[in-house]
């Protein structure tokens, strides 16, 4: 079993307009284990993507205080590739296009990067697994030969992020709005992929705004983030309660002084 612990995390970003640092995460705590699916919900601009980028090691986000522990080892300061080798994966809110590298080449390289140098994956088993996982996600075989994400539709990009997880088999997958922009059928397919990843060796953190995804992938734990912190943690019923009552209701219940951007 692996454990990912975020402890009292404070993160700043550089505000390019004002040339100052702005604190986004303000003492965030979160613990997750493999075998568990966690969901994070929270208003726009609350720091959810900041959290996922910081866990993965995007250098634009500066940890000023706190720790991110993977099996007890602090990964703050480690480069992205090192974190990936240690079993972290981030499915980004806006996956980047990588012209010149095919989807298949990328997957092959990413899998081998996590294996000992003298034990690369056998090409036949790689291709068999690729076929199997693409079929599971209803992806056309030619998607493997296209440049990574280049010209992929929004939905194809999201499906492809799930394909990467199925192939790379990270211990923790962080999914930032994997459901955004998906049509109803694609949402089912993506959820099917996430459910296929479920198991003792895999833990997930799904950032989402909608109950819809959580109907298909029922989380073990739901966290609510506001103003840079996790303010409440509960079970799947917490997401349903939010859907009914909105964030203002929870905020008032918790007695928080947080301004919500879209409040009337």
The one segment of 43-51, 115-123, 129-137, 160-168 that binds ligand ATP by CB under 6 A: 43-51
Determine the Cα–Cα distance for residues 109 and 114; give it in Å rounded to an integer. 9
The distance of closest approach from Cβ of residue 3 to ligand ATP in the complex, given in angstroms and rounded to an integer, is 24
Of the candidates 18, 44, 119, 125, which one interacts with ligand ATP according to CB under 6 A? 44
Per CB under 6 A, 128 contacts ligand ATP: no
Question: 80 — phi, psi (to 5°)?
Answer: -55, -45
Tell me how far the alpha carbon of residue 103 is from its chain's centroid. 19
Helix axes 154-168, 123-136, angle to 10 degrees: 140
- Residue 262 found at the interface with ligand ATP (CB under 6 A): no
Partner whose footprint covers residue 15, from Mg ion, ligand ATP, none (CB < 5 to 8 Å by kind): ligand ATP
39-47, 67-75, 80-88, 164-172 -> range binding ligand ATP (CB under 6 A): 39-47
Closest by CA position to 130, among listed 153, 150, 105: 105
Please report, as residue ranges, which positions from 32 to 71 form the binding site for Mg ion (by CB under 5 A): 48-49
Of the candidate residues 1, 60, 151, 188, the single one contacting ligand ATP (CB under 6 A): 60
Q: Counting contacts by CB under 6 A, is residue 20 touching ligand ATP? A: no
Using the contact rule CB under 6 A, the part of the chain among 44-52, 82-90, 102-110, 156-164 near ligand ATP is 44-52
Measured in whole angstroms, the distance separating CA 199 from the mean position of its chain's CA atoms is 17
Q: Which stretch binds ligand ATP (CB under 6 A): 3-11, 40-48, 79-87, 157-165?
A: 40-48
Rounded Cα distance between 237 and 256, Å, is 21
208 is a site residue for Mg ion (CB under 5 A): no
Q: Is 61 or 106 the residue whose CB approaches ligand ATP more closely? A: 61
Greatest distance between any 2 Cα atoms in the chain: 61
Task: List the one residue out of 21, 8, 2 whose CA is nearest residue 87.
Answer: 2
Residue with tokens 């640092």: 21
In a 3-state reduction of DSSP, which class is residue 158? helix
Binding site for ligand ATP (CB under 6 A): 13, 15, 24, 42, 44-50, 60
């Amino acid at each position: 079993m692996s454990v990912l612990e975020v402890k009292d995390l404070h993160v700043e970003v550089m505000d390019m307009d004002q040339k100052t640092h702005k604190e986004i995460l303000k003492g965030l705590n979160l613990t997750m284990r493999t075998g568990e699916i966690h969901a994070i919900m929270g208003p726009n601009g609350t720091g959810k993507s900041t959290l996922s980028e910081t866990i993965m090691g995007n250098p634009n986000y500066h940890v000023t205080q706190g720790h991110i522990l993977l099996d007890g080892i602090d990964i703050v300061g480690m480069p992205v590739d090192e974190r990936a080798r240690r079993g972290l994966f981030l499915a980004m809110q806006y996956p980047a296009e990588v012209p010149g590298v095919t989807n298949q080449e990328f997957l092959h390289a990413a899998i081998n990067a996590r294996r000992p140098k003298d034990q690369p994956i056998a090409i036949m088993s790689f291709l068999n697994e690729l076929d199997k996982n693409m079929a599971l996600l209803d992806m056309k075989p030619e998607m493997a030969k296209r440049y990574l994400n280049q010209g992929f539709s929004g939905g194809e990009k999201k499906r492809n992020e799930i394909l990467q997880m199925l192939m790379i088999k990270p211990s923790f997958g962080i999914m930032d709005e994997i459901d955004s922009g998906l049509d109803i059928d694609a949402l089912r397919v993506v959820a099917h992929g996430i459910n296929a990843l479920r198991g003792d060796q895999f833990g997930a953190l799904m950032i989402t705004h909608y109950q819809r995804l959580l109907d298909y992938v029922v989380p073990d734990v739901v966290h609510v983030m506001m103003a840079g912190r996790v303010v409440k943690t509960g079970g799947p019923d917490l997401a349903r309660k939010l859907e009914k009552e909105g964030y203002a209701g929870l905020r008032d219940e918790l007695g928080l002084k947080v301004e919500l951007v879209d409040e009337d």
